[in-house]
Amino acid sequence: MSRASSVPSPAGGLDQHAPLHPGHSPLRSELVNSIYSQSSYGDSPDSTAASSVEDIRIHRSLPTGVYVPTVCFFDEHTEDLDLDAIASHAVRLAEAGVAGITTQGSNGEAVHLTHQERKIVTSVTRRALNEAGFASMPIIVGCGAQSTRETIELCRDAAISGGDYALVLPPSYYKPSLKPNSVIEFFEDVATASPIPILIYNYPGAVSGTDLDSDAIIKLAGHPNIVGCKLTCGNTGKLNRIAAATQAATPTDHGSGFLCMAGSADFTLQMLVGGGSGVICGLANVVPKACVEIFNVYRSGDLAKTQKLQSVVARGDWAAIAGGIVGTKSALQTYFGYGGLARKPLPRPTVEDAKRYAEGFREVVALEKSL
């Protein structure tokens, strides 16, 4: 299936010639756009966010590879955004060879940020990448919210702030009241109204156990403005089914252009063998080169070495998973001299906590520093 028709127009809107999803009629699309075309109800963007408006005119493709859901940095005392750390971290990741950046992901403490802060983080990241010579690097922006309306609003904010794609979780707060097709309609409506293409974010642990099956994601992949998925569920069978059905891009074959992404670094090799496109992994905040190296060695055809690398990365990823954002930031602070603290109510690590986190990351950081 070709994704050529799903490329946004230079102004950020959908290609008017793009075919609609079979279950999404022109009348329904017109209705969706009419309902959600009202002006922003959120904070008006300040000069920091508005400075990136021109970026929505640039189409940045989504290559296969490693994407990093960046952590968000704060002043240790005031909890204000640390813009310098946000910018320098993004550049460090880009220089390590990652394919793209994801802001407002689960690691980015999006639920701790105001709408205005979300826009600022994305805008600062875009500007830092541009100024460091990475203007072509795409930014995916987490745009999950509970209502269709707010989700679309976040997608528009992302576009204005320099984001290229939106990563969207399914709604879950009123899960018992949702009908079987409610989540499908949610993604179709968001995709129809969003000025930037979206990726489906399947993360049951964050949405009251909602776990989209392969049939649902394959159906949604037919929408011209849905261009990929992130599977933090860890189900490699699901990934294989979706990749096959969508003819997903791989490191050696562009296929349809649809990206079928793993959601953590501990099954990067399994994803590659299963026909996937890449990985969006929090571990890469700490060890981006190690995560990229798995791709490089796999492409070289050395499967035995790839397996050894994957073992080290998987052990390191368990430290990241077990320690969460707090552990990831602590490891950054210990090994690279920055990271700081998460916003409350997340806890401040004790000295003993920091030692435990450092030990969990020790092996994979040694690999990182050897590359």
For residue 41 the two structure tokens come to 């109800």
3-class DSSP state of 270: helix
Which H helix or E strand runs over 292? helix 288-300
For residues 320 and 361, give the distance between their C-alpha atoms in angstroms, rounded to a whole number. Answer: 8
Burial of 350 (0-12, 13-18, 19+ CB in 10 A): exposed
Find the catalytic residue in 230, 238, 289, 329.
230
Among 311, 310, 331, 304, smallest CA distance to 320 is for: 331
Among 208, 363, 214, 330, smallest CA distance to 275 is for: 214
From residue 14, how far is each of 219, 260, 294, 320, 353 by CA, in Å? Answer: 19, 21, 35, 37, 48
Burial of 71 (0-12, 13-18, 19+ CB in 10 A): buried
Question: Would the CA dihedral through 23, 29, 35, 36 be positive or negative?
Answer: positive
Q: Is 230 a catalytic residue?
A: yes
3-class DSSP state of 74: strand
3-class DSSP state of 55: helix
For residue 334 the two structure tokens come to 């210990």
For residues 346 and 341, give the distance between their C-alpha atoms in angstroms, rounded to a whole number. Answer: 9
CA 331 from centre of chain: 21
For residues 260 and 137, give the distance between their C-alpha atoms in angstroms, rounded to a whole number. Answer: 19
Burial of 204 (0-12, 13-18, 19+ CB in 10 A): middle
DSSP-assigned letter for residue 257: S
Catalytic (active-site) positions:
230
